[in-house]
Structure 1
Amino acid sequence: MIDYEILPARPEQAAAVLEFWRAAAEGTSISDDPDGVRILIERDPGALLLAVDGDRILGTVIAGFDGWRCHLYRLAVDPRMRRRGIGSALLTAAHRRFDSFGGRRADAMVLEHNETGQSAWKAAGYRREDQWRRWVKPLGRAS
């Protein structure tokens, strides 16, 4: 049994979160830099949830609520710690957060080639909606 707790990320943890994602998450985002992570944490202090054992990050999930929809991103667990319930615990914490806001449905971003991620989301009761496609446009300094 591993001892850990789930806590909201703090701005000073931005670099550690990015390092963790490089090792444990699939893909990268336009916001994968210290400013991007800090902006998320400062804008919505409870959105980035960490499973931690002391200072060691074991897992993450971003549970964002925009007032209309509940969005999940960056569910990642240290590859050495997978299949121990950490991902499920992070999702439970995210769902509780959404429930507190009156959220009605959560959606998750999953890369097409990420079969491990797709299996995890399916096991958590999520289903793919093939009728939707993501459309993006970089803004501001990113364009």
Structure 2
Amino acid sequence: MVAAKKTKKSTDNINNKLQLVMKSGKYTLGYKTVLRTLRNSKAKLVIISNNCPPLRKSEIEYYAMLAKVTVHHFHGNNVDLGTACGKYFRVCCLSIIDPGDSDIIKTTAFTSQPKFRGNIVLGLENFVPGPNHVFN
């Protein structure tokens, strides 16, 4: 019961901060523009809805890892993310270029840290190579 209440409160918190970004900050909506801002190193935070297609999600996460940008997975589908942004259409992903008066980047930095440190991707420290693995 308590965990559900905390999730609801944190979702409301993210929604309020998103509304503030939409009013006072700079952002891009959509897959192509998110990739463009990541390639140009302009994005400071990327938000992805939970029903984003897996290939799209992995490509955005890969570009974000290269640009060292935090990715936040929104706890709602693309309709909910569009509504949270104050739009009347679905939003699969968005990138925040300038948060404006909002502190959404500081808030989401604690909830969704990037899963890498420098050149080391976490989770590969216990990697055991198979018989066909070739080291270069």
When normalised by structure 1's length, the TM-score is: 0.28
Higher relative CO (Cα under 8 Å, sequence separation at least 6) belongs to 2
Which structure shows the bigger proportion of residues in strand conformation?
1
Whichever of the two has the greater Rg, that structure is 2
